[in-house]
Amino acid sequence: MRYAYYPGCSLHSTASDYQQSIDSVFRKLAIELREIEGWTCCGASAAHVSNLLLPVALPVKDLLQAEKMGLEVIAPCAACYNRMRQANYKIKESAELRQKVNQILRADYQGQVKVRHISDVVVNEYGLKAIGQLLEKNLKGMKVVCYYGCLAARPQKIVAFDDAVYPSYLDRLIQTLGGEAIEWPFKTECCGGSFSVSKKEVVLKLTHDLLDTAKDLGAEAVVVDCPLCQFNLDFRQGEVEKQFRKHFALPVFYFTQLLGLCLGFRQKELGLEKLNVQPFALLEKKNLFV
Amino acid sequence: MARIGVFVCHCGTNIAGTVDVKYVAEEMAGEKGVIISRDYKYMCSDPGQNIIKEYVRLYKLDRVVVASCSPLLHERTFQNTVKEEGLNPYLVEMANIREQCSWVHKDRAEATAKAIELIKMTIGKARMNEPLFPKRIPIERQALVLGGGISGMQAALDIALVGHPVILVERTPSIGGRMAQFDKTFPTLDCAACILTPKMVDVRTNPNIRILTYAEVESVEGYVGNFTVQIRKKARSVDMSKCTGCGECMQKCPSQVDSEFDLGLGKRKAIYTPFPQAVPNVPVIDRVHCRFFTQGKCQVCQKVCPAEAINYKQEDEVITEKVGAIVVATGFDLSDPNTYSEYGGGRYKDVINGLQFERMINSSGPTEGHLRRPSDGKEPKTLVFIQCVGSRDENLGRPYCSKMCCMYTAKHAILTKEHIPDAQVYVFYIDVRAAGKNYEEFVRRAIEQYGAMYLRGRVSRIFEKNGKLIVRGADTLSKGQVEIEADLVVLATALVARQDATKVAQMLGIPYDQNHFFTEMHPKLAPVENVTSGIYLTGACQAPKDIPDSVASASGASVKVCALFAHEELIADPMIAEINPNLCSLCHTCVDICPFSAILEEEVQRPDGRLRRQMRVIDGVCHGCGACVASCRPGAITLKGYTDQQIYSEIESLASCF
């Protein structure tokens, strides 16, 4: 298996631990990721609220590169994934936009490059059965909530690869790894996304509601597959605790980190030490600390 | 040489807006055989038809070409017009310059040029037209009604009233349908049972109506006036002639299962009638759950039956009936409430749908009319009703409005307050659609007199917290997010076509729409008719309909049946296939390809007395689709009204345009 890989800015910065764990896990799964050469911004957060052309033209520039490579694209960041899918959709839908974008980029792009979310490839393409056969450890006794966020689920007909409101692919993965995925109603609730930068108080309220419910339900950790969600839930957790005078101490893992642990990787290979809420006490308790 | 008149219609601005009709009419005057060509604002109107008649008379026209809309709409109109002047109606041809030209083009010059081409083709065909003469077919004056709900019952009663025999086939063990499940009806709040059950008795006692419950139609063959239907009477395991309906068997039966009639909120026995007022009041044994049928012992019902009516050996019986008309009244289903993951997707017991609420608040329902939370049996104090669940939702591919939810939700709000005066009722809505007689007033009553709190907005999520259901939604009028701690949530789930609607449609040979509702012949002017003549539609199998609409359409369909039955013979369309036995090789390709089974092989006696095998097209069954014509290798089949010559002439005329 081979894919064109579009890391996006997060995986080179705030989510470098996600990147590290992806590198390890994909090596083990023997899925080759070829980084798109000279990739540029996908336009997330800012471009799509500024005008109608830029948020399509930006991802198309990268998709054109991928088209030359003749490969499907994997995007690990839900925001990049969402932008690329939306760009493809809009290019196919509007002849006028297609013409404009192609004019700007001096290209002839028809929206044909398939864009996949990284979880979609791991869970649905590689398959849970195959993963089950590679496991060296398991998450036995670990109770987690899987938090999917919104960008890989909505708009449903453009991006979703599972139920748009109550998806289950991460839950199924966690079960495969031997852990317990708690049913909870906030799987695709909003975390505040990039308001983290412009209106922090919104994010603090929303992430508080998420963390509070997760804790209430007895979760010991949160599992995510989006760097934005991870940032808000993990990096802002201390501030949330301070503002709401509560104690959560809920580690927020990328699914690749837990998968990596079960595949036998060590903490350094998975960037675990970069998590803001320290996971080591929990991992030690579950015999996963090496 | 044909004498052709060409009449070009403006259709107001429908055609004239895009096509230069005056110019088109002038251009046509020069065509071969055209004696007169003119335009008029509305050809189908009375003055328009008079123009055609006058010109036929004045110029002794023997062919008429009308360039206007689709022949589906007005071919019959213009055929009748020329008939009044003594011209054979099949000498009229229509050029469709509206649906296939003016409506789909924007450029005036191009549309005008295309209209000219279309009309020239039609003139070419008209030149070759021959007079055709319809055949007469006898009519079997007995009707079949499919479905014993309120609309099927009404149709059966109306047809029976005129004196025609009716067979009423119902799939479940009793007639009554959805209405039997309801408690009160909007906007009058009279009790559904009080107005329904007397009607059920009327149906049962009417000597012209034969009720076949627990029965399904398996096949339909034939054509208008002459359908042959096979009906499977499922084995009831109870002898209908002996059973007195005492109910002893149902009391003593040891196996309990979820009642379909109560939507899982209550139980029934394995031998059961769906509800106490069932007609006929004869139970059936559900063989999937009966102990005797599953485990080989029990037979309690047989032991206790004083009439010795239990018969475990009864088998399905398939009967064949001849009917002249079929009324389809198969009703609707509710979409599965468990598919809405934002509303719990079936994870929360206290999220129910409107029909379950109806059963709960019905005094003969599983809770004897008391509102109870299914989870813990407690009386709910805060109730949230959510409208448009699954309706008006493009994401689910269901853009249509389910029509009656606004009204029944208002009714539920009122009933809740009457049962539990200190309850607080919230209703989330997109728009309140109360366009019926006394409907808007009814909704206002729910809001003003009963204090139901209407919130304009969607609910984004329902989740459980501390034993309460938290309903989170938007209130778009106050522009805020609201969260309501509810005890019970009622979803107005979408009305959908019956699960097997497409199968039924295929069996009957009737069309259905993208939502699987059966399609009427014309949405405005033929709302109960069907393109398959002899089949009529009524009730919610066509689209979501409430009780008044269902009853009205039932009476409408009945009038159509009675109009058909008013004559002993039917005049059949002559535009059907005809086989020339001298060219036919008896290869049977046409038999395989005919979608209507209209072709058969038979033995005929030749003039010299010898027998000869040949193929024949059955009048009345053939729809004139032309599939056999195209498939016939020796070219032995001709479609009358669409002969090879006519088509070639059309093509030649088109070719001459370039």
Cut 0.90: pTM above it: no
The domain spanning residue A240 has which CATH number? 3.40.50.11810
pLDDT in tens, B311-355: 999 999 999 999 999 999 999 999 988 888 899 988 999 999 999
Comparing B82-86, B235-239, B571-575, which segment has the lowest mean pLDDT? B571-575
Binding-face residues of A in 168-187 toward B, CB within 8 A: 183-186
Residues A62 and A145 occupy one common structural domain: no
Asked whether residue B649 is domain-assigned, the answer is: no
Q: Is residue A6 part of a domain?
A: yes
Q: Are both A92 and A152 inside the same structural domain?
A: no
Map residue B628 onto helix, strand or coil. helix
The verdict on B467 and B532 lying in the same domain is: no
CA distance A158 to A170: 20
Residue B79 is inside which H or E element, if any?
helix B71-83
Same domain, A276 and A155: yes
Residue A197 binned pLDDT confidence (cut-offs 50, 70, 90): confident
Q: What does the alpha-carbon distance between residue B184 and residue B36 come to, in Å, rounded to a whole number?
A: 65
Q: Are residues B102 and B60 in the same domain?
A: yes
Please give the tally of structural domains in chain B.
5
Q: Do A165 and B347 touch (CB under 8 A)?
A: no
The rounded percent of chain B whose pLDDT value lies above 90 is 90
CATH number at residue A78: 1.20.1050.140
Residue B651 lies in a domain: no
Say if A127 falls within a structural domain. no
Q: Which residues pair with B36 in a beta bridge?
A: B5
Say if residue A88 is in the same domain as residue A153. Answer: no
Same domain, A223 and A112: no
Q: Is residue B655 part of a domain?
A: no
Yes or no, beta carbons of B461 and A166 under 8 Å apart: no
B423 — contact with chain A (CB < 8 Å)?
A: no
- Tell me if A107 is assigned to some domain: yes
Same domain? A172 vs A70: no
Is B347's CB within 8 Å of A156's CB?
no
The boundaries of the domain holding residue B286 are 235-314
Instruction: Check whether residue B439 and residue B562 sit in a common domain.
Output: no
**Nearest chain B alpha carbon to A162:** B341
Are B230 and B149 part of one and the same domain?
yes
In this structure, the answer to whether residues B230 and B323 fall within a common structural domain is yes
Is the domain of A149 the same as that of A16? no
Domain end residue (candidates: B446, B466, B496): B496
Mean of the pLDDT values across residues B582-606?
90
Size of interface A-B (CB pairs under 8 A): 20
- If phi > 0 it is left, if psi is from -120 to 50 it is alpha, else beta; for residue B86 that is left
| B462 CB within 8 Å of a chain A CB | yes
Q: Domain with B512 in it: what CATH number?
A: 3.50.50.60
Tell whether the model's pLDDT for residue B516 goes beyond 90. yes
Query: Average pLDDT of B558-577?
Result: 93
Q: Which of A117, A150, A170 is the last residue of a domain?
A: A117
Q: Tell me if B225 sits within 8 A of B135, measured CB to CB.
A: no
The reply to whether residue A185 touches residue B461, judged by beta carbons under 8 angstroms, is: yes
pLDDT band at B438 (very low <50, low <70, confident <90, very high): very high
Do A281 and A158 fall within a single domain?
yes
A214 within a domain of the structure (yes/no): yes
The percent of residues above 90 in pLDDT, for chain A, comes to: 92
B517 and B491 inside one domain: no
* Mean pLDDT of the region A92-98: 95
Beta bridge mates, B426: B384, B453
For chain A, say whether B393 makes contact (Cβ under 8 Å): no
How would residue B395 be classed by pLDDT, with cut points 50, 70 and 90?
Answer: confident
Provide mean pLDDT across the span A225-244: 96
Going by pLDDT thresholds of 50, 70 and 90, the confidence category of residue B571 is: confident
Average pLDDT over residues A92-113: 95
CA angle B357, B363, B369 (to 5 degrees): 50
The whole-number pLDDT of residue A93 equals 95
Q: Does residue B454 have a pLDDT over 90?
A: yes
Q: What is the pLDDT of residue A290?
A: 61
Sign of CA dihedral B211, B216, B218, B224: positive
pLDDT at B533: 85
What is the span of the domain harbouring residue A226?
A: 136-285
In this structure, the answer to whether residues B16 and B126 fall within a common structural domain is yes
Residues 6+ apart with CB under 8 A from B278: B173, B174, B176
Chain segment A127-146, per-residue pLDDT in tens: 999 999 999 999 999 999 99
The stretch B447-473 carries a mean pLDDT of: 94
Contacts of A166 in chain B (CB under 8 A): 341-342, 345
Residues A33, A102 within the same domain: yes
- A212 assigned to some structural domain: yes
- The count of structural domains within chain A is 2
By CB atoms closer than 10 A (0-12, 13-18, 19+), residue A51 is exposed
Give the end of a domain, one of B132, B148, B177: B132
State how far residue B342 is from chain A, nearest Cα, in angstroms.
6
H, E, C per residue of B241-299: CCCCCCCHHHHHCCCEEECCCCCCCCEEECEECCCCCCCCCCCEECCCCCHHHHHCCCC
Q: Which of chain A's residues have a Cβ under 8 Å away from the Cβ of B348?
A: none
Q: Please tell me whether residues A75 and A205 are part of one structural domain.
A: no
Segment B574-602 mean pLDDT = 91
pLDDT averaged over every residue in chain A: 95
Instruction: Indicate which of A165, A187, A188 best probes the interface with B, i.e. most B CBs within 10 Å of its own CB.
Output: A165
Inter-chain contact A163–B341, Cβ cutoff 8 Å? yes
Q: How far is B404 from chain A (nearest CA, A)?
A: 27
Same domain flag for B198 and B326: yes
Write down the residue that tokens 């813990």 correspond to. B376
Q: Does B512 reside within a domain?
A: yes
User: In terms of domains, do B78 and B189 share one?
Assistant: no
Q: Indicate if B356 and B475 belong to the same structural domain.
A: yes
Same domain membership, residue B254 and residue B112: no
Task: Report CB contact under 8 Å: A185, B462.
Answer: yes
* A81 falls within a domain: yes
Domain annotation covers residue B345: yes
Q: Are B645 and B128 in contact (CB under 8 A)?
A: yes
What average pLDDT does the structure give for chain B?
95
Q: Are residues A204 and A93 in the same domain?
A: no
Contact A185 B341 (CB under 8 A): no
B347 inside 8 A of chain A by CB: yes
Q: pLDDT for A172-190, tens place per residue?
A: 999 999 999 999 989 999 9
pLDDT at B606: 86
> Last residue of some domain: A53, A85, A117?
A117
Q: What is the pLDDT of residues B264-291, one digit of tens each?
A: 999 999 999 999 999 999 999 999 999 9
Predicted pLDDT at B336: 86
* Token pair in block for residue B217: 């139609």
Closest-CA distance, A188 to chain B, in angstroms, reads: 10
In chain B, which residues have their Cβ closer than 8 Å to the Cβ of A157? Answer: 395
What tokens appear for B127 in the block? 């030149």
Residue A39 inside a domain? The answer is yes
Q: Is residue B654 part of a domain?
A: no
Residue A16 lies in a domain: yes
**Nearest CB to B341: which of A157, A165, A186?**
A165
One domain for residues B121 and B14: yes
User: Do both A182 and A245 map to the same domain?
Assistant: yes
According to the model, what pLDDT value does residue B623 have? 84
